[in-house]
Amino acid sequence: MLEHLPALQVVVPLAAAPLIVLLRRPRVAWLLASAAALFAFVAALVLAAEVASTGAISYHLGSWPPPWGIEYRVDALSAFVLVLVAGVGAVVMPYAWRSIPAELPRDQHYLFYALQCLCLAGLLGMTITGDAFNVFVFMEVASLSMYVLIALGRDRRALLAAYQYLILGTIGATFYVIGVGLLYLLTGTLNIADLAQRLPELAGSRPALAALAFITVGVSLKLALFPLHLWLPNAYAYAPSVVTAFLAATATKVSVYVLLRFYFGVFGARQVVESLPVTGILIGLSVVAIVTASLVALWQADFKRLLAYSSVAQIGYITLGIGIANESGLTATVLHLFNHGVTKGALFLLVGGIALRAGGAGFEQLRGLGRAMPLTSLGITLAGLSLIGVPGTAGFISKWYLVLGALQAGQWWLAALVVATSLIAVAYVWRFVEAAYLSAPDERSAPAGEAPRVMLIASWLAVGACFWFGIDTAYTVEGARRAALFMLGGLP
Residues that bind another protein (CB under 8 A): 133, 136-137, 140, 144, 147-148, 151, 156-157, 159-160, 162-163, 166-167, 170-171, 174, 177-178, 181, 184-185, 190
- Considering the complex, state which of residue 137 and residue 407 has its C-beta at the smaller distance from another protein: 137
- Residues 179-205 as b/e (b if ≥16 CB within 10 A, e otherwise) read bbbbbbebbebbbbbbbbebbeeeeee
For residue 339, the one-letter residue type is N
- Considering the complex, state which of residue 190 and residue 435 has its C-beta at the smaller distance from another protein: 190
Minimum distance from residue 270 beta carbon to another protein (Å) = 28
Task: State the Cα–Cα distance between residues 31 and 36, nearest whole angstrom.
Answer: 9
For 239, phi then psi, to 5°, come to: -70, 160
For 431, phi then psi, to 5°, come to: -55, -40
Q: Could you give the count of Cα atoms lying within 13 Å of 42 in the half-sphere of its Cβ?
A: 10
- Considering the complex, state which of residue 321 and residue 362 has its C-beta at the smaller distance from another protein: 362
**Residue 278 in 3-state DSSP?**
helix
- Considering the complex, state which of residue 145 and residue 459 has its C-beta at the smaller distance from another protein: 145
In terms of Cβ atoms closer than 10 Å to its own Cβ (0-12, 13-18, 19+), residue 41 is: buried
Extended beta strands in 181-340, E state: none
Minimum distance from residue 301 beta carbon to another protein (Å) = 9
**Which helix (H) or strand (E) element contains residue 473?**
none
Task: State the Cα–Cα distance between residues 187 and 199, nearest whole angstrom.
Answer: 7
Minimum distance from residue 140 beta carbon to another protein (Å) = 5
Minimum distance from residue 268 beta carbon to another protein (Å) = 24
Task: State the Cα–Cα distance between residues 395 and 389, nearest whole angstrom.
Answer: 4
Minimum distance from residue 199 beta carbon to another protein (Å) = 18
DSSP, res 264: I
Minimum distance from residue 313 beta carbon to another protein (Å) = 24
- Considering the complex, state which of residue 86 and residue 146 has its C-beta at the smaller distance from another protein: 146
Question: Could you tell me the CA-to-CA distances from 383 to 106, 294, 339, 363 in Å, in that order?
Answer: 32, 17, 11, 18
Minimum distance from residue 247 beta carbon to another protein (Å) = 17
- Considering the complex, state which of residue 136 and residue 263 has its C-beta at the smaller distance from another protein: 136
- Considering the complex, state which of residue 43 and residue 366 has its C-beta at the smaller distance from another protein: 366
**Residue 362 in 3-state DSSP?**
strand
Residues 147, 150, 156: CA angle, nearest 5 degrees: 115
Minimum distance from residue 174 beta carbon to another protein (Å) = 6
Minimum distance from residue 234 beta carbon to another protein (Å) = 10
Task: State the Cα–Cα distance between residues 486 and 340, nearest whole angstrom.
Answer: 22
- Considering the complex, state which of residue 67 and residue 470 has its C-beta at the smaller distance from another protein: 67
- Considering the complex, state which of residue 106 and residue 156 has its C-beta at the smaller distance from another protein: 156
